[in-house]
Structure formats: C-alpha cells, structure tokens
Chains A and B, each alone.
Chain A
Amino acid sequence: MYITCSAWRLAIALVLPLGVAQGQAETVQVIIDKLVFTPGTINAKVGDTIEWVNKDAIAHTATVKGRWEVMIPARKTVSQHLDNTEAVDFYCRFHPNMVGRLTVEK
C-alpha cells in the first residue's frame, strides 16, 4: 500500500511538469471584421491554435497559395491547429485584398 502510494506520487511528480509544458500552447484569436484580418501579423508557436473569428456577413478564407486553406463561413469561428514551423503570407481567396502574415516558430 505504502509503496503503491509512493509510486503514484512519483508518477504524478514526473507527469505534472510535462502537463504544464503542454499547457503552454496558446490560442491566438484573429478577428475578421469589415474585410480586415486583425492582427494582420500573427506570431505563434508550433502547437498553438489560431481561432479565426469571422464577424462579417460574408464568408472568407485564410489561404496560403499551394499549401493550405481554412474556410471561415459568415459569422463563424474556425480553429486551426499549428503543426509546422512556417513563415507565410496568407490572403482571402474570395477577397484577395485581405492579406496577412503568419510566422510559426518552434
């Protein structure tokens, strides 16, 4: 019994720091309002999540040509998990005058 409790304490002691490290992943909100991405320059880390919040009555995309695209329907929020390091310019494919820059670091 005593040994079991110690083992558990040890296990918890080992696992907790890992849990804290994983908990550092952040959610970065990008607001789309009146056809503008705010912030227009996003700096994030691998493991973070971007929340694309579309306040407009029309649909938008966040598109990196030839790489990826997130569809953001009118008045919806869409989450995107960042898995890779990259430094890219993105734009809305429907309204290419909407542009932004995303940098994802380790």
Chain B
Amino acid sequence: MFGRSLTTLAALCLVGGAPLAHAQDKPTDPQIAHIAYTAGVIDIEAAKLAVEKSQTKDVVDFANGMIRDHEAVNVQALDLVKKLNVTPEDNATSKALTEAANKKRGELASLDGAAFDKAYVENEVAYHAQVNEALENLLIPSAQNPELKDLLETGLKMFQGHQAHAEHVAAELE
C-alpha cells in the first residue's frame, strides 16, 4: 500500500503532475531537503515501533541500525541546510509521504509476533526501493546545490545498503 503510494507519487512528480504542479516540473532545493529529511524521519518512526514490538534479534538489530543511520544522516542534512541558509519547505510530496507512513504504521501497530516482523521487514524493502527510485530519478537530478546533491548521493548509497540489509533479514525470516 505504502509502496504503491510512493510509486504513484514518483510517477506524478516525474511527469510534473498534481503534487508538484506549482513547482513547475521539479522540486526546488528547499523542497528536496524537506522530502529527504521526511523520508528519514518516517523510517526512524517505523524502526522505533519495531524496537518496541519485535522479539526477534535480527529485526531489532536491523531497526536499531535504521535509527542510528537515519538520525546521523538527518543531523548532516540539518547542518547542511543551516550552512547553506536554506529553510526546508514543506510540500505536497512530503505531506503525502507522511500520510502514507502514518497509515502504514497503523497497520503495523495492529500486528504482533511473526506477522509483525514479516510486515515490517517487507515494508522496509519496499519503502527503501521506492525512496531509492525517487532519489535516483527525481531528487538527485533536480538538486541544484552541489553539496545537497552530494549528500543525496551518499544517502542513496546508504538507502541501497539498507534495502540489501532488509532483503537479508527478510530471507532469514523465511
């Protein structure tokens, strides 16, 4: 569900559709900064839920890794926007991301045990895949500031790593 929403979002953004219609055909740097930061916060929130609910060491370790990495990168992102004197700007994509994440978190919160582990890890694979697609096809090509672009590129490698890690954990759960 969440993955599908993001795909739709990415597709809409790519064709300059509804969510970003007012921003011409691509997001501005302040919007990109906000989207990237929001994407990190969403994963941290999901991970906190997993740490709270899961009894499986691999899942809890993975979730703690998500919290550690995304918090570190978001600190870097905040340092960068401060340095660049850019104020992250809320936008339709960030709002839609948050809305979809809240819905997903509600679904996850209603699950327990192995069903929770499976749903959480599968969503992590799908979520990272969709964010990677948005980073590669929309956010990185649209970023104007070289330092922002650089941070997004590092973020992409990290997200790709998380996707691979989530796939490993998912395989272990099978």
Q: Which of A5-13, A42-50, A82-90, A91-99 lies at the binding interface?
A: A91-99
Which residues of B have CB within 8 Å of A76?
Answer: none
**B54-98 interface with A by 8 A CB criterion:** 65, 68-69, 72-73, 75-76
How far apart sit A36 and B73, CA to CA, in the bound complex (Å)? 16
The answer to whether A96 touches B157, judged by C-beta atoms less than 8 angstroms apart, is no
Interface size class of A (residues with CB under 8 A): 10 to 19
Closest residue of chain B to A33 (Cβ to Cβ) is B154
Interface digits, A25-50 against B, CB 8 Å rule (1 contact, 0 not)?
00000000011100000000000000
Q: How far is the CB of A11 from chain B (nearest CB, A)?
A: 54
How far apart sit A42 and B157, CA to CA, in the bound complex (Å)? 22
The answer to whether B161 touches A92, judged by C-beta atoms less than 8 angstroms apart, is yes
How far apart sit A96 and B128, CA to CA, in the bound complex (Å)? 14
Summarize B's interface: helix, strand, loop or mixed.
helix
Closest residue of chain B to A59 (Cβ to Cβ) is B68
A35-B154 contact in complex given A92-B161, A95-B162, C-beta closer than 8 Å: yes
Answer yes or no: B164 CB below 8 A from chain A CBs.
yes
Which residues of A have CB within 8 Å of B28?
Answer: none
**A56-98 interface with B by 8 A CB criterion:** 56-59, 74, 92-98
The answer to whether A97 touches B160, judged by C-beta atoms less than 8 angstroms apart, is yes
How far apart sit A92 and B164, CA to CA, in the bound complex (Å)? 11
How far apart sit A34 and B161, CA to CA, in the bound complex (Å)? 12
The answer to whether A95 touches B73, judged by C-beta atoms less than 8 angstroms apart, is no
How far apart sit A94 and B158, CA to CA, in the bound complex (Å)? 9
The answer to whether B154 touches A95, judged by C-beta atoms less than 8 angstroms apart, is no
The answer to whether B76 touches A95, judged by C-beta atoms less than 8 angstroms apart, is no
- A: which residues have CB within 8 A of B? 34-36, 56-59, 74, 92-98
Kindly list the 3 A-B residue pairs having the minimum CB-CB distance in the complex, ordered from nearest: A95-B161, A35-B157, A96-B164
In the complex, besides A57-B76, A97-B161, 20 extra interface pairs with C-beta distance below 8 angstroms are: A34-B153, A34-B154, A34-B157, A35-B161, A36-B157, A58-B72, A58-B158, A92-B161, A94-B65, A94-B69, A94-B161, A94-B165, A95-B157, A95-B160, A95-B162, A95-B165, A96-B164, A96-B165, A96-B168, A97-B160
